[in-house]
Amino acid sequence: MKVNYACNSVEHGMARRQFLGSAAIGAGMLAGGLGVFTNRAVAEQLRSDQKRIVIFNMHGGLSQLESWDPKPGTDTGGPFLAIPTSVPGIHVSELLPQTAQQMHHLCLARGVNTSEDDHGKGAYMMMTGRRQTPAGNFPQIGAVAAKALTPVDSVLPGYIAITPGGSGGRGNDSAYLGPKYSSVSLGNGNPPQNTTRPENIAETSDAARQEFRRKANEKFLNRRRTALTEAFAYSYEQAEQLMRQRDVFDVTKEPAEDVERYGSHDFGRHCLLARRLLERGITSVQVSHSNYDTHNENFNFHIEQMGEFDRSFSCFVADIAARGMLDSTLIVVLSEFGRTPNINQYYGRDHWSKAWSVCLAGCRIPRGVAYGRTNANGTAVEDGQVDHGSLFHTYLQATGVDSFGSFDIDGRDMPIADPSSAAVAQLLT
């Protein structure tokens, strides 16, 4: 479908498809299972101790001026007011009235400067913490978190990407970490497709087929074991686990009143699914929301989209806090960049990476804080400047991961985060 308000660049189209994880290796090669949750005490202990991360990707470039850093009454501010929040002295856009009441759980980084106005490159930087180069590819934060934080004995997939149209395929976002840590794409609040046993195959017959497959794989692997063949065999085992426990991914199992609170639109269902997944031990979840590339009609678009986001996101934050999960769940709301303070002739805002905002919450992130400051009309960062690399380190350290450590990849140490950067001390407690 053509998006009339967006820039319609080739790079934007490619970046969008890549970012939403459309490259997949098939719906059958999935991960899943719930074995550790059969014991209630174990489940409760994991719920309190295991660190998790959820990324809300406001794809296309959310306007900071219509969300986290409003500038009403200025030549760049646009038509919307700033409203008080649950934290005295911190104001957000009037388009976020319900989220404003959750500000005591949140932290706003208002001094983001990444100096990259290209969709694909900006998205890559924000998701990997590094600039894109021909020299190599790096894993996204979801894949890194899945490898670093998922318990060794967990049979659940480590990384779920929730996006409209997601049907269970794997993404290509784990780079050298391998397919075990790449995202499984879900959407529409339903379990992955092709995860039920056909009625014409008896359970005993299926068990015999699986046992034969295992023996054949074992014989083959004993002679020709490679990372690719191991990943292939592993995908079948996790697919079988997923078929047994597919209800964990079924948002229709949630109470009707929660569905009503979150909203019946895709984003509402996806936020509720994210809560369900995190509660059941998924380490890393990414939720995508629409396309904020508002070169035209920026204000009308943000009225509609912020309305969806505000309702569902505020419910999500409130629920995570109420259920005692905020100390163990890192929440990040990001884009590939922000929007220009200047309003163009089409009542739109263009790409702007030099002064924008990211919202954080949970784990070691300070609560009820606005860190960093832009100037009066939002054209430049005046204090507390951060970038993609420092934020990436901050995400990891907030969840207890040593961001200066390395992963052993086939005997080679690969730095978890960019060694030339470091976490933002003011964004950690």
Among 124-133, 184-193, 259-268, the least confident range: 184-193
pTM (2 d.p.): 0.84
pLDDT over 60 at 2, yes or no = no
* Residue 44 φ then ψ, to 5°: -65, -40
3-state SS assignment for residue 413: strand
- Tell me what the mean pLDDT of segment 250-264 comes to: 93
- Tell me what the mean pLDDT of segment 117-141 comes to: 96
Q: What is the pLDDT of residue 199?
A: 73
- List the CATH number of the domain containing 353: 3.40.720
* Residue 364 φ then ψ, to 5°: -90, 10
- Tell me what the mean pLDDT of segment 370-375 comes to: 98
Among 133-137, 212-216, 253-257, 330-334, the least confident range: 212-216
**At 347, is the pLDDT very low, low, confident or very high (cuts 50, 70, 90)?**
very high
Q: What is the pLDDT of residues 278-294, one digit of tens each?
A: 999 899 999 999 889 99
On whether residue 2 sits in a domain, the answer given is: no
Q: What is the pLDDT of residue 236?
A: 65
d(C-alpha 44, C-alpha 41), whole Å: 5
Which residue, among 159, 162, 118, 124, has the nearest Cα to 142 in the 3D structure? Answer: 159
Which domain, by its residues, includes 284?
10-427
Q: What is the pLDDT of residue 231?
A: 63
The sign one gets for the Cα dihedral 366, 372, 376, 379 is negative
d(C-alpha 316, C-alpha 314), whole Å: 5
Q: What is the pLDDT of residue 15?
A: 41
Tokens of 178: 């391998």
Q: What is the pLDDT of residue 233?
A: 64
Q: What is the pLDDT of residue 21?
A: 37
H/E segment holding residue 358: strand 356-361
Among 9-13, 260-264, 362-366, the least confident range: 9-13
Q: How many domains does the chain have?
A: 1
On whether residue 3 sits in a domain, the answer given is: no
pLDDT over 70 at 12, yes or no = no
Helices in 225-337 by DSSP H: which ranges? Answer: 227-244, 256-262, 266-279, 298-322
pLDDT over 50 at 122, yes or no = yes
**At 186, is the pLDDT very low, low, confident or very high (cuts 50, 70, 90)?**
confident
On whether residue 399 sits in a domain, the answer given is: yes
- Are 310 and 67 a contacting pair, CB within 8 Å? no
Q: What is the pLDDT of residue 290?
A: 86
| Amino acid occupying residue 365 | I
pLDDT over 80 at 392, yes or no = yes
pLDDT over 80 at 273, yes or no = yes
- Are 353 and 75 a contacting pair, CB within 8 Å? no
On whether residue 4 sits in a domain, the answer given is: no
DSSP state of 80: P
On whether residue 141 sits in a domain, the answer given is: yes
d(C-alpha 118, C-alpha 58), whole Å: 15
pLDDT over 80 at 337, yes or no = yes
Sequence-ordered list of residues with C-beta below 8 angstroms from that of 116, at least 6 positions apart, any chain: 122, 125, 131, 336, 337, 353
- Are 72 and 292 a contacting pair, CB within 8 Å? no
On whether residue 77 sits in a domain, the answer given is: yes
Q: What is the pLDDT of residues 62-110, one digit of tens each?
A: 999 999 999 999 999 999 999 999 999 999 999 999 999 999 999 999 9
Q: What is the pLDDT of residue 244?
A: 63
Among 191-195, 287-291, 420-424, the least confident range: 191-195
Mean pLDDT of the chain: 86
| Residues facing 49 on adjacent strands | none
Q: Which residue has the higher pLDDT, 333 or 35?
A: 333
- Are 146 and 284 a contacting pair, CB within 8 Å? yes
Q: Which region holds residue 367: left if phi is over 0, alpha if psi is between -120 and 50, else beta?
A: beta
Q: Which residue has the higher pLDDT, 194 or 182?
A: 182
pLDDT over 90 at 429, yes or no = yes
On whether residue 1 sits in a domain, the answer given is: no
- Tell me what the mean pLDDT of segment 153-172 comes to: 82
On whether residue 128 sits in a domain, the answer given is: yes
- Are 114 and 387 a contacting pair, CB within 8 Å? yes
Q: What is the pLDDT of residue 180?
A: 86
CA 338 from chain center: how many Å? 17
- Tell me what the mean pLDDT of segment 137-151 comes to: 96
Q: Which residue has the higher pLDDT, 280 or 374?
A: 374
pLDDT over 90 at 165, yes or no = no
